Structure 1
Amino acid sequence: MRRLVPCLLSMALLSGCGITQGSESPSKSAKPVFASVETEPVASANDAADDPAIWIHPTDPSRSLIIGTDKKNGLDVYDLTGKRVQTLPDGRMNNVDLRYGFALGGQQVALVAATNRTDQTLALYAVDVNGRLSNVADGKIATGMADPYGLCMYRSAAGEYFVFANDGDTGHFKQWVLEARGERVGARLVREFGVGSQAEGCAADDGTGALYVAEEDVGLWRYSAAPNGGDARTSVDTVAKGNLTDDAEGVTIYYGAGSTGYLIVSSQGSNDYNVYQRDGDNKFIGKFAIVLSPAGIDGTSDTDGIDVTSASLGSAFPHGVFVAQDGKNTNPSAPQNFKLVPWERIAEALKL
């Protein structure tokens, strides 16, 4: 059902004017923001785009990139104008994440991990200084899962690198430590735990050591990201009586100074995004929704994966950027893609 949304000439002059958004309605409590950039659509039709990760260029942040999954084909890499600059047709990649500073072959590299549902493996790539990805996995890294699904990475205070992945609709998680093996990277299983039912989105906080898991029909949980963390957990928010609408999907962290910042979750069933405090008990702050922009970039709905950075990415995104998968790319109608929202619009809308 198409929705009438407010004019977006400025965030301060929001009043109804009969512009169609082309997606389901977000909740009434969600504050509207709009994207400045959208990526080229993925090559695959229907439900294909899923999860993004932001790579920050080490010397020129304006050359930073968005790495997105096409879960029918592989990985696509986009520049900050939304242009596709690399495609890796390596299998049905579902979720993707990255961490910087991994020691490999005498260099410090950014390491990208993804779940590959074609051969039930962990895919691993290094990013060079120009943003090109190359496979560095030490052979086929079997997950032992029937359907490796969600994924996130963690770098501990001790400098160890980990990957978490879950198995389809079972809610079963595994944690591997990543190890340099010459010019390649291997993975060693260090932990397993179950969340109870289907989960996908997760994010690990490198500063606080917390692991956040979205159990889709239940809510958001906080675990320890340590390999000896076991299955102890704390409820952050719920679907039944809380601020989430099933499915709870993508999870990402906006890093502020120290332990400050924000935890963001895709509330897929209400077509918007929940924001929580990063520190303390992760207090709920509010919601925002991505709506039709003055330039005609459509809003988002049915969002799976999200990512965010607080780093300045040049003149286009001087205060950071939020990236969201769009489940219905409608203006014009096209395969799914990713939307890029300048962080300051979200901060202004929610008075962060």
Structure 2
Amino acid sequence: MATSRTARPTTLALATAVAALTATALPFQALAAPNGSRAALPAVTARSETPALHDDEAGGDADADDPAIWRNAADPDRSLVIATAKQGGLRVYDLNAREVQSVPAPAAPGPDHAPGRFNNVDLVHGLRLSSGRADLAVTSDRGGDRLRFHRIDANRAGGPLTDVTDPSAPPVFSSSQEEIDEQRTAYGLATWTDKSTGRSYALVSRRERTSVAQLEIIPGADGKVGYRKIRTIDLPADFRLPNGTSWSPCGEPGELPQVEGMVVDPANGMLYAGQEDVGIWRMRADLTGTPKLVDKVREYGVPGTYDEETEECVAGADPGFGGTRLTADVEGLTLLTEADGDGHLLASSQGDDTFAAYDRELSDGNEYEGGFRVTAASAALDGSEECDGAAALAAPLGRKYPNGLLVVQDGHDAPGDAERPSTNFKFVDLGEVKEAIED
């Protein structure tokens, strides 16, 4: 059991300092694909896809969102993909994209309160529990403003996941059930183990806010797992543009530009966080120091006015301060890590159905190195559109994926159910992705 060290949670007031950085040039030169066009990017195709998940109030929400890939070291052919289905809970798939387990989200704490709603998922490997070392699936429960932990055991009868969440785990951001019900709660998620201390952490963003919190993951009694907050930072909500004006992304009244897609590079302890309507930030995973904006969405700096009647933003003239590779929203971030330590940061450019790849080297400022699209393999196996989440694992996964695997969410699975939106996950050979980036 971990020692119960106490630390006062702190909030770092970074907005002013970070906003000043955005008035200067980005740390690398813009390198657009030929003509900056979506069509110019190479295409890859999926080898398989999961069954469609639907968003249907009558049948219960089961909207696909974010995946994680667990490698079975003892038998790589039996590796798993663990994915969130929002109110549908967690779904577990084998490498043939067949469902092997469905775990429901927690029930509402009362008739007037929100039920659990799983948003993002990541993994922690080899955490020392009172019952022995274990790999865990860590999930942000947006409905309950908590983290949920599931132990992974490929040989367990009934399915590989077992809930080991400490029942006393506190809300991440909220101070009361009433505040939880407002649903400005735990949203994006990335995990990280500090090599120097062996301690594991979760970085969690807040829905409709710019906050990111660092939580230490703490094993408790009886094999349960909890957490404590270490510190929180707030990314900017408005930005000083090169022409001297101030800009904030357009959104519904009261909403701030939120962060969702996040990933930590274990080689250097850097967190990459996608602020959906702004761009990709790089910062220390312990949330100290000053974040840097390493790329911006094309819409950065474009003025917008929210129309209450249509519930949409009406864009003004583009002043030309945005990036050239990402179209809002910037979503699922993941790492393609090579055996020699090289590799890429991959980001979903949700607005134009593409993916961007950046160098992981800090010395060259995460230089853009290419991009790709996931397109239809056949009439029955389509590509990925409006991708919310992605996960890559550059390790041999048995006979099916000896080059590694990329899993991407598809926001418009086709052919779909005409009565209900259809979403699912596509499985892509990582070797094909590498070739596309290097093309």
Per the TM alignment, residue 253 of structure 1 is displaced from its structure 2 partner at its CA by 0.7
Structure 2 residue aligned with 1:29? 40
Q: Which protein has the bigger strand share? A: 1
Q: Runs of 4+ in structure 1 displaced over 6 angstroms? A: none
CA contact (8 A) 2:62 2:88 kept: no
Tell whether the 8 Å contact from 1:325 to 1:338 is kept in structure 2 after alignment: yes
Residue 217 of structure 1 pairs with residue 285 of structure 2: no
Q: Distance in 2 between matches of 1:168 and 1:111?
A: 24
**For 1:178-228, what per-residue CA distance to the aligned partner results, in whole angstroms no more than 9, with x for missing partners?**
1111211110110100122211110011121000000111110100012xx
Q: Could you say which residue in structure 1 is the equivalent of 2:78?
A: 63
| Counterpart in the other structure of 1:238 | 296
Alignment of 1:132-171 (within 5 A): 132-141=160-169, 142-145=171-174, 146-157=184-195, 158-171=197-210
8 A contact 1:250–1:304 mirrored in 2 = yes
- Report the aligned-residue RMSD: 1.8
Equivalent position of 1:303 in the other structure? 387
Gap regions ≥5 residues in structure 2: 1-36, 106-115, 175-183, 237-256, 298-321
Alignment size in residue pairs: 325
1:339 equivalenced with 2:420 (yes/no) = no
Give the counterpart of 1:269 among 348, 351, 359. 351
Please point out which of 79, 85, 90 is paired with 1:75.
90
**Partner residue, 2:133:** 108
The aligned residue for residue 320 of structure 1 is: 404
Residues in 2 aligned to 1:70 and 1:306: alpha-carbon distance in whole angstroms: 14
Aligned residue number for residue 184 of structure 1: 224
1:43-95: per-residue Cα shift (whole Å, max 9, x none)? 54488110000011121111111111111221010111111111110231000
Write the distance in 1 (CA, Å) between the matches of 2:428 and 2:372. Answer: 11
Measure the CA separation in 1 of the matches of 2:103 and 2:55: 13
- What are the ranges of 5 or more consecutive residues in structure 1 without an aligned counterpart? 1-25
Q: Separation in 2 of the partners of 1:52 and 1:101?
A: 20
Give 1:105's aligned amino acid.
S
**Is contact 2:371-2:436 (8 Å) kept?**
no
Q: What's the counterpart of residue 124 of structure 1?
A: 149
Where 1:346 maps in the other structure, the secondary structure is helix
Tell me if the contact between 1:52 and 1:324 (Cα under 8 Å) persists in the aligned partners.
yes
Deviation at 1:258, TM superposition (A): 4.6
Change (3 A) 1:270 1:140: farther
Bigger radius of gyration among the two: 2
1:236 deviation in Å? 1.6
CA displacement 1:248-294 (0-9 Å, x = unmatched): 01100111135311100000011011011122321101111000104
Deviation track 1:123-151 (CA, whole Å, cap 9, x = no partner) reads 11111143711111111422124322111
How far residue 332 of structure 1 moved from its aligned partner, in angstroms, is 4.4
Partners of 2:53 and 2:94 in 1: how far apart?
A: 14
Q: Name the counterpart of 2:108.
A: none
Identity of aligned residues (%): 34
User: CA separation in 2, counterparts of 1:47 and 1:125?
Assistant: 19
**What is the DSSP-based 3-state SS (H/G/I as helix, E as strand, rest coil) of the residue aligned with 1:50?**
coil
1:300-334 CA distance string (max 9 Å, x none)? 10000100000110111111010000000013447
